[in-house]
Amino acid sequence: MPDPTLPSPAPWLIRVPEVFAEMETEIIAELDAAKLKKIGREFFLIRIAEPALIHDSQAAKFLRWNLPMHHMWPCCPKDTPGFVEKAAQALWRKFGEQNPQTVLIGPLDADASNRYYRTLASNLRGRTLQLFPPQAGAIRDAEAQHSTAPTLFCLLGEEGLFCGMHSPQAAHGFHPGGTRFIRQNTPGMISRAGAKIAEALHHLALYRDVPAVGSHWLELGASPGGMTAELLARQYRVTAVDRAPLDARLKGAVCLQAVCMDAAYFRPEAGTVHDAILSDMNGDARESITQVARLSENLRQNGLVVFTLKTPGVTTFGEINQLAASVMEIARAAGLRQIAMTHLTYNRHEFTVIFERMA
């Protein structure tokens, strides 16, 4: 029987990407947690005795977002008369004196085609901010939040309303449920990889400033150039290395040096210093990080590495963890410190890892 002198494990909401749905049981077991129910397509309500494991366990990289459950209203909002007013008043009574930096409310299934809950979330936020102190409404862009200050995050869906106070950094995203959604098929986008690096840079802002305009990026595995185009659009200088050529639309691009060769044979010119390295190379992640480690000798102190940890041929929870541990060992030996490892919207069976070069 549970010891009545011990506090009850905390209820928590975690988000496990659909690509890892078959690992749900192992992920929750690694957290030493109990599953209460699945909510929406990717969220799980759990009870967890050691919330630190959400950040400091082998399960952490599989969790796109998380939130402590400080307030839950299980209901069907569509069938609840006066839902917006009742919910707003409840949020004010419970959280008004806790002075969150802002209130952010979003749908549980952010990419669902049905816009009902997106609209309802917007209406609820608007009414809630009328009740809270004016400073809570001063932040209009979610990414203008202070990453370590508490925010009242709420998620809304068919199962009801789920809310908690958490900093964006601790939650793993500035937005309710995760990172900003970036459309893949915008004009001029060469491939989905452009959205992938844009999302990675949004995630980076949780931990440190993104590289300044004019920074020099070394990009490995650049073809066809989706990420290259995104970096150039942000006014970076790019040395793009790949055995395959870049998309013809990048020919003659200002601030771009295209090098058509295998990254394993690439050697920067003497005296070259890079501000950041971006690697989206295919193949074994250990081989890819070995090339990044070698080339990080030309990376400035505190320089950035954005690395896609790909998992071809690796399918189980244990195998993925073993691969990730090997990659981290190679990176550490090269003086690279991990800032974050996460699964983002445009990752498939892969992870985005962010490092910085130590002194």
Q: What DSSP line would sit under 204-250, residue for residue?
A: HTTTSPPPPTTPEEEEES-TT-HHHHHHHHTT-EEEEEESSPPPGGG
Q: Answer yes or no: do 163 and 261 share one domain.
A: no
Nearest-angstrom CA–CA distance, 100 and 246: 46
Instruction: Indicate whether 188 pLDDT > 80.
Output: no
Q: Answer yes or no: do 168 and 268 share one domain.
A: no
Residue 72 lies in a domain: yes
- What is the per-residue pLDDT across 225-248, written as a single tens digit (0 to 9) for each? 999 999 999 999 999 999 999 999
Q: Answer yes or no: do 32 and 163 share one domain.
A: yes
Residue 183 lies in a domain: no
- What is the per-residue pLDDT across 57-75, written as a single tens digit (0 to 9) for each? 999 999 999 999 999 999 9
Residue 185 lies in a domain: no
pLDDT band at 224 (very low <50, low <70, confident <90, very high): very high
CA angle 343, 284, 236 (to 5 degrees): 60
| Residue 302 zone, left/alpha/beta (φ > 0; ψ -120 to 50; rest) | left
State the average pLDDT for the chain. 94
Q: What pLDDT shows up at residue 109? A: 87
Please say whether the beta carbons of 145 and 102 come within 8 A. yes
Instruction: Indicate whether 249 pLDDT > 60.
Output: yes
Q: Answer yes or no: do 4 and 49 share one domain.
A: yes
- Looking at the DSSP bridge assignments, the partners of residue 340 are 354
The mean pLDDT of 38-63, rounded to a whole number, is: 96
Residue 3 lies in a domain: yes
Q: What DSSP line would sit under 159-212, residue for residue?
A: TEEEEEEE-HHHHT-SBTTBSPP--S--TT--STHHHHHHHHHHHHTTTSPPPP
Instruction: Indicate whether 283 pLDDT > 50.
Output: yes
Q: Answer yes or no: do 232 and 328 share one domain.
A: yes
Q: What pLDDT shows up at residue 10? A: 87
Amino acid letter, 237: R
- The one-character DSSP state at 5 is T
Kindly give, in sequence order, each residue whose CB lies less than 8 Å from that of residue 180, ignoring residues fewer than 6 positions away.
142, 143, 174, 199, 202
pLDDT band at 187 (very low <50, low <70, confident <90, very high): low
Please say whether the beta carbons of 267 and 250 come within 8 A. no
Q: Answer yes or no: do 138 and 227 share one domain.
A: no
Q: Answer yes or no: do 126 and 222 share one domain.
A: no
pLDDT band at 8 (very low <50, low <70, confident <90, very high): low
Residue 272 lies in a domain: yes
| Residue 160 zone, left/alpha/beta (φ > 0; ψ -120 to 50; rest) | left
Instruction: Indicate whether 344 pLDDT > 80.
Output: yes
Cis peptide preceding 224, ω within 30 of 0:
yes
pLDDT band at 113 (very low <50, low <70, confident <90, very high): low
Instruction: Indicate whether 1 pLDDT > 50.
Output: no
Q: Answer yes or no: do 174 and 289 share one domain.
A: no
Last residue of a domain, one of 178, 206, 222: 178
pLDDT band at 2 (very low <50, low <70, confident <90, very high): very low
Kindly give, in sequence order, each residue whose CB lies less than 8 Å from that of residue 52, ignoring residues fewer than 6 positions away.
none
% of the chain exceeding 70 in pLDDT? 95
pLDDT band at 185 (very low <50, low <70, confident <90, very high): low
The mean pLDDT of 205-224, rounded to a whole number, is: 97
Q: Answer yes or no: do 350 and 265 share one domain.
A: yes
Q: Answer yes or no: do 198 and 56 share one domain.
A: no
What six digits make up the tokens of 47? 């009870």
% of the chain exceeding 90 in pLDDT? 88
Residue 161 lies in a domain: yes
Q: What pLDDT shows up at residue 191? A: 81
Of 19, 345, 62, nearest to 198 (Cα)? 345
Q: Answer yes or no: do 148 and 273 share one domain.
A: no
Of the given ranges (87-101, 149-163, 169-183), which has the lowest mean pLDDT? 169-183
Instruction: Indicate whether 7 pLDDT > 70.
Output: no
Say which CATH number the domain at 323 has.
3.40.50.150
Residue that the structure tokens 């060992």 belong to: 329
Nearest-angstrom CA–CA distance, 18 and 5: 38
Say which CATH number the domain at 43 has.
3.30.2130
Instruction: Indicate whether 335 pLDDT > 50.
Output: yes
Last residue of a domain, one of 178, 206, 240: 178
**Within 13 Å, how many C-alpha atoms sit on residue 213's CB side?**
3
Residue 143's CB is within 10 A of a number of other CB atoms, namely: 15
Q: Answer yes or no: do 173 and 223 share one domain.
A: no
N- to C-terminal Cα distance for the chain?
51
The mean pLDDT of 115-126, rounded to a whole number, is: 95
Q: What pLDDT shows up at residue 184? A: 62
- What is the per-residue pLDDT across 138-155, written as a single tens digit (0 to 9) for each? 998 999 999 999 999 999
Q: What pLDDT shows up at residue 245? A: 95
- What is the per-residue pLDDT across 309-332, written as a single tens digit (0 to 9) for each? 999 999 999 999 999 999 999 999
- Please give the model's pTM, rounded to 2 decimal places: 0.93
Instruction: Give the count of domains, the chain.
Output: 2
pLDDT band at 306 (very low <50, low <70, confident <90, very high): very high
Last residue of a domain, one of 130, 146, 178: 178
Residue 188 lies in a domain: no
Domain enclosing residue 84, as ranges? 1-178
